[in-house]
Amino acid sequence: MILDSITDCIGNTPVVALEDNLVPVGKKLFLKLDYFNPNFSVKDRTAFGLVKKAMDRGELKPGGMAIESTSGNFGKSLAMLGAVYKFRVLILVDPKVSPSLLKWYKAYGAEIEMVTELDEDGGYQKTRYKRVKELMSQYPDTYWTDQYDNPNNPSIHFETTAKEIVDLPIDAVVGAVSTGGHLCGMGRFIKEKKPEIKVIACDVKGSAIFGHPFNPYLINGVGLSWRTENTDLSVIDQICIASDQEAISTCRILAKEHGIMVGGSGGLVVVSALSFLNHSNAKSALAIIPDTGINYLDQIYDDEWLDLKGISLLDRRELKDAIDNKKFDIPYELHLSKSWS
């Protein structure tokens, strides 16, 4: 098939069954590998949706400029789209970004600004956010994609990603949350069309999205020190919190024993999905894998880096124990309004 543009390669990602004895007997775990997008992450979908809407409305034009604060993947996608549609891209990053990502942005011609000041939570997300606001008041014609609160983020997943999964033979969809865009966009569609499919949100221990105190954590892309407008609690059935150690150990097993190399948030959704299958009557679950481990060869796939960060890998038996002992909950705000299921 000959396609017109690299943007036609976004979406329609493959789904692979995981054959592993951590999957309970008689049950199925499927992985939707969103690293089969042009920049190897789910964020190609999000960025394309936001850019397309902004261009359709005339808010972003060739020769104009788009700005965003990103921990990594969204910036790559936006930078690629800047090259395709001929607008300038300014990306705000922080010191957690990997050096190869910076080269990636530059390869597409994007401009970069790094914030270095820690915010009051000990992370950088709020500092980046504050800097975007400053730049927007300095350059009012700039388009801020605002993946955190722009409703067109979940909308693109409602319109596209959800349609790729809703007819699969699944009892649950398990996804990582940061902006909440991809999981809650899909979740809204699922709740409209097939409400019997459970929507399970996973977050990393240390993130404050679901009301826990914020503490810095290692894996990238997932979690936040606050909750965005795009995290729609009404479409989430249950939440699962897993640690850096559990997520990274799962990543290493997936790579070494299955040839599936995922990013830390991919490990997080897989360990959460395994736990959900263990703790529920669900016969099958679909884990959305947001990105590839290629992004983290110098981090979670590097034993010296793990030593430096004080992470010891769990072996299969220890991981099985962690899966067995994991607790599921509903978002605390919903305790009063939703019955436990």
Ligand X SMILES: Cc1ncc(COP(=O)(O)O)c(C=O)c1O
Residues forming the site for ligand X (CB under 6 A): 41, 43, 72-74, 176-183, 220-222, 263, 265, 290-291
| 171 or 232: CB nearest ligand X | 232
Kindly tell me the burial class for residue 251, based on how many C-beta atoms sit within 10 Å of its own C-beta (0-12, 13-18, 19 or more). Answer: buried
Distance CA 218, CA 143 (A): 30
| 183 or 233: CB nearest ligand X | 183
**What is the closest distance, in whole angstroms, from the C-beta atom of residue 340 to ligand X in the complex?**
25
**What is the closest distance, in whole angstroms, from the C-beta atom of residue 181 to ligand X in the complex?**
4
| 64 or 266: CB nearest ligand X | 266
**Facing residues of 69 across strands?**
92
| 41 or 125: CB nearest ligand X | 41
3 state SS of 226: coil
| 277 or 287: CB nearest ligand X | 287
Distance CA 67, CA 89 (A): 6
**What is the closest distance, in whole angstroms, from the C-beta atom of residue 75 to ligand X in the complex?**
10
**What is the closest distance, in whole angstroms, from the C-beta atom of residue 97 to ligand X in the complex?**
12
**Facing residues of 17 across strands?**
30
| 64 or 301: CB nearest ligand X | 301
Distance CA 32, CA 13 (A): 7
How many Cα atoms are found within 13 Å in the side-chain-facing hemisphere of 179? 28
| Radius of gyration for the chain, computed over Cα atoms and rounded to the nearest angstrom | 19
Answer whether 78's CB lies under 8 Å from 109's CB.
Answer: no
**What is the closest distance, in whole angstroms, from the C-beta atom of residue 330 to ligand X in the complex?**
18
**What is the closest distance, in whole angstroms, from the C-beta atom of residue 295 to ligand X in the complex?**
8
Residue nearest to ligand X (CB): 221
Instruction: From 340, 302, 299, select the one nearest 101 (Cα to Cα).
Output: 299
Instruction: From 59, 47, 49, 54, select the one nearest 141 (Cα to Cα).
Output: 59
